[in-house]
A and B are shown apart, each in its own frame.
Chain A
């Protein structure tokens, strides 16, 4: 893809200060620690990682809901942290968000109609009643919400229907970039499939770019074309989706992919699984050198001290591991290219 990126994140950092005890010394939790990537218009870019890796904080930074400690978020080339309140508000129209939990992200006292049209009020988009009705009807239709729902409240709906309302609200302003933070992880599989198909259709129809935040590789593979894998606040690998799944270059990505159970017993019986030992270390006290080294199966002495930077494994494929390339070690790896 060529042209100007819609979103550019440059060496973004967000450190939270936490104190140990009432009078204890303050320590910085580096929730996001030097993350850079770009998202092109109409692209779906995924940020994948386990809990505590900083992916949600990253989403909040992109939405300008959190102020970065350092680094920049550029939306179509303009630095969001340098904008005035009014300018930022104008920009917000073009960046919208879909949340994980369709139960807590909709106001229980508002009707579906109020929820979906509230963005128009907030952004002073006055329309004559006819245009407004037409626009609303189209929006609901696109999101698969029946007209009869308009006067009803969120508690009357199931999780999947609520998530549709959340999506309609996000799309009411015709945004160009949608940040979706785990939009399907609270849903049952058969409903999850409906919502994923919907997100895909809407992207094509409305020419959206997605920043898709998820812990679920299967979902990401279905929807996204490029992926960044995060571990303890850093991006450890980024590549286009097919390359990442077929030839992961970072040991963490490899283990993460191998840990995902595959819905096919014949593959499950054949494949050899990499089981990582231990838990994700506390972000309060990340390990020295490469953050992943205590759990890494390719550990070399240098990894304990050397902090690896992202390096190009092949064009467009970056990985932060100094013992690249791994190409020949994939014989026993978990992936069976099918």
Chain B
């Protein structure tokens, strides 16, 4: 199956006079139609910056995509003109954010905010767009949508606001939905509702979802494939079952072991010692080396490439070098000609 979105060696830097921070460093993955890819990582791992890079929403400067390509149906989003990317943003690729309160406009009625995208991308009349807005609100599970469409965001609860955000994102039936920590601000019972809704809508619209999250439980529930990020790097890509059963990168192993579960009481959690590096400092070798339990001498000096393993997996670690049987790739550090 052809991937709907293909990220190849994405490298996003933030450049200030004092220093350059490499926020995303060689991210690579394929997103398939109708599937969910979870991008997992802790704060500062670059997962949100990568999403904003896809939609070209980062302010330039200080941000700059210095290398890589993002192929949407075979065309590189990074090489599109501003007009072209505008016609895709919100139409073919939509996004929902973590904070449903701050991402809705407080002085506009909910209906107006949904209708806006419909009018812009589908050139429909105002009346038709409002009718569609009410229809969408119903679809995302808001009771009495014909009345609630006239409400303002403050009249909605947190869960309802996130439903409204999803309605906006769905208004043009996108091929790809990017959900950046969509349930992090919500209570667990509301989180369960929203995740269920996203799964239902994904089936109905046959939409691919990029789910950005730090919650390992949400990954286990939602994802088909997973890309794990650490310090801007893609450290491991795998199908969700493979990743949980047999994590190959020491960071993934540590991350999975450090999560408390309601199903088993562990006496001690296996915490990863230390903390993530400062991305502005620049490091030689593998960024995880200072915290890694399987560290080797070369890890401190030599940067591991992306090793390809059985089952379409990838791990960015010297420890899997032999297993990769020489199949590895190192992405360019700058964009040729761009």
Hey, which bits of chain A sit against chain B, CB under 8 A? 50-51, 158, 160-161, 188-194, 196-197, 200, 215, 217-219, 221-222, 241-242, 245, 255-268, 273, 275-277, 279-280, 336, 338
30 A–B contacts, CB within 8 A, in A order: A51-B187, A160-B275, A189-B42, A189-B259, A190-B271, A193-B270, A193-B271, A194-B273, A196-B271, A197-B269, A200-B268, A215-B187, A218-B260, A222-B265, A255-B189, A259-B189, A260-B217, A261-B195, A261-B218, A262-B220, A262-B261, A263-B244, A264-B263, A265-B220, A265-B221, A265-B223, A265-B240, A265-B244, A266-B245, A268-B220
Interface residue? B215 (CB, 8 A): yes
Tell me, rounded to whole Å, the shortest Cβ–Cβ distance linking B183 to chain A: 9
Give which listed residue, A197, A258, A262, A336, contacts B271 with CB less than 8 A: A197
Tell me, rounded to whole Å, the shortest Cβ–Cβ distance linking B139 to chain A: 16
Q: Is the CB of A267 within 8 A of B263?
A: yes
Name which residue of chain A comes closest to B143, CB basis: A278
Tell me, rounded to whole Å, the shortest Cβ–Cβ distance linking A115 to chain B: 20
Name which residue of chain B comes closest to A201, CB basis: B268
Q: Count residues of B near A (Cβ-Cβ below 8 Å).
A: 46
A158 to B44, CA, bound (A): 11
Query: Which 9 residue pairs spanning A and B have beta carbons closest together?
Result: A261-B217, A193-B258, A193-B271, A188-B42, A193-B269, A259-B192, A50-B187, A263-B216, A194-B271
Residue interface bits B235-262, CB-to-A below 8 A is 1, else 0: 0000011001100000000111011111
Residue interface bits B176-199, CB-to-A below 8 A is 1, else 0: 000000000001111111011000
Residues of B within 8 A of A221 (CB): 260-262, 265
Name which residue of chain A comes closest to B216, CB basis: A263
Tell me, rounded to whole Å, the shortest Cβ–Cβ distance linking B6 to chain A: 24
Number of A-B contacts (CB under 8 A): 134
Q: Is the CB of B256 within 8 A of A222?
A: no
Most buried by A among B160, B192, B215, B273: B192
Residues of B within 8 A of A158 (CB): 275
Interface residue? B301 (CB, 8 A): no
Contact (A276, B193) CB under 8 Å given A160-B275, A218-B260, A260-B262:
yes
A305 to B160, CA, bound (A): 28
Most buried by A among B157, B195, B214, B220: B220
Residues of B within 8 A of A218 (CB): 217, 259-262
Residues of A within 8 A of B254 (CB): 190
Tell me, rounded to whole Å, the shortest Cβ–Cβ distance linking A171 to chain B: 19
Contact (A261, B259) CB under 8 Å given A193-B270, A193-B272:
no
Interface residue? B264 (CB, 8 A): yes
Interface residue? B43 (CB, 8 A): yes
Name which residue of chain B comes closest to A338, CB basis: B263
Interface residue? B266 (CB, 8 A): yes
Q: Is the CB of B244 within 8 A of A264?
A: yes
Q: Is the CB of B217 within 8 A of A263?
A: yes
Residues of B within 8 A of A264 (CB): 220, 244, 261, 263
Q: Is the CB of A275 within 8 A of B192?
A: yes
Residues of B within 8 A of A260 (CB): 188, 217, 262
Name which residue of chain B comes closest to A336, CB basis: B263
Q: Is the CB of B260 within 8 A of A219?
A: yes
Tell me, rounded to whole Å, the shortest Cβ–Cβ distance linking B237 to chain A: 16
Residue interface bits B193-230, CB-to-A below 8 A is 1, else 0: 10110000000000000000011111111010000000
Which residues of chain B from 261 to 310 have a CB within 8 Å of any chain A CB? Answer: 261-266, 268-273, 275
Contact (A259, B188) CB under 8 Å given A189-B259, A264-B220, A336-B263:
yes
A259 to B215, CA, bound (A): 13
Hey, which bits of chain B sit against chain A, CB under 8 A? 42-43, 157, 159-160, 187-193, 195-196, 214-221, 223, 240-241, 244-245, 254-256, 258-266, 268-273, 275
Tell me, rounded to whole Å, the shortest Cβ–Cβ distance linking B324 to chain A: 25
A215 to B188, CA, bound (A): 8
Tell me, rounded to whole Å, the shortest Cβ–Cβ distance linking B204 to chain A: 17
Contact (A256, B260) CB under 8 Å given A190-B271, A197-B271:
no
Residues of B within 8 A of A192 (CB): 258
Q: Is the CB of A261 within 8 A of B220?
A: yes
Contact (A50, B216) CB under 8 Å given A193-B272, A257-B262, A262-B263:
no
Residues of A within 8 A of B261 (CB): 218, 221, 262-264
Tell me, rounded to whole Å, the shortest Cβ–Cβ distance linking B24 to chain A: 18
Tell me, rounded to whole Å, the shortest Cβ–Cβ distance linking A261 to chain B: 3
Q: Is the CB of B190 within 8 A of A279?
A: yes
Residues of A within 8 A of B273 (CB): 194
Give which listed residue, B215, B245, B255, B275, contacts A261 with CB less than 8 A: B215
Tell me, rounded to whole Å, the shortest Cβ–Cβ distance linking A273 to chain B: 6
Name which residue of chain A comes closest to B44, CB basis: A188
A200 to B261, CA, bound (A): 16
Name which residue of chain A comes closest to B191, CB basis: A259
Tell me, rounded to whole Å, the shortest Cβ–Cβ distance linking B238 to chain A: 11
Beyond the given A260-B188, A261-B192, A268-B221, could you list 9 further A-B residue pairs with CB under 8 A, ordered by the A residue number? A190-B254, A190-B258, A190-B271, A218-B262, A241-B265, A255-B189, A257-B262, A264-B261, A275-B193
A279 to B155, CA, bound (A): 13
Name which residue of chain A comes closest to B41, CB basis: A188
A158 to B221, CA, bound (A): 30
A273 to B157, CA, bound (A): 23
Tell me, rounded to whole Å, the shortest Cβ–Cβ distance linking B328 to chain A: 27
Contact (A261, B221) CB under 8 Å given A50-B187, A219-B260, A266-B241:
yes
Q: Is the CB of A190 within 8 A of B188?
A: no
Residues of A within 8 A of B275 (CB): 158, 160-161, 191
Q: Is the CB of B256 within 8 A of A190?
A: no
Residues of A within 8 A of B160 (CB): 279
A245 to B263, CA, bound (A): 8
Q: Is the CB of B269 within 8 A of A262?
A: no
A261 to B196, CA, bound (A): 12
A215 to B220, CA, bound (A): 20
A265 to B215, CA, bound (A): 13
A247 to B259, CA, bound (A): 23
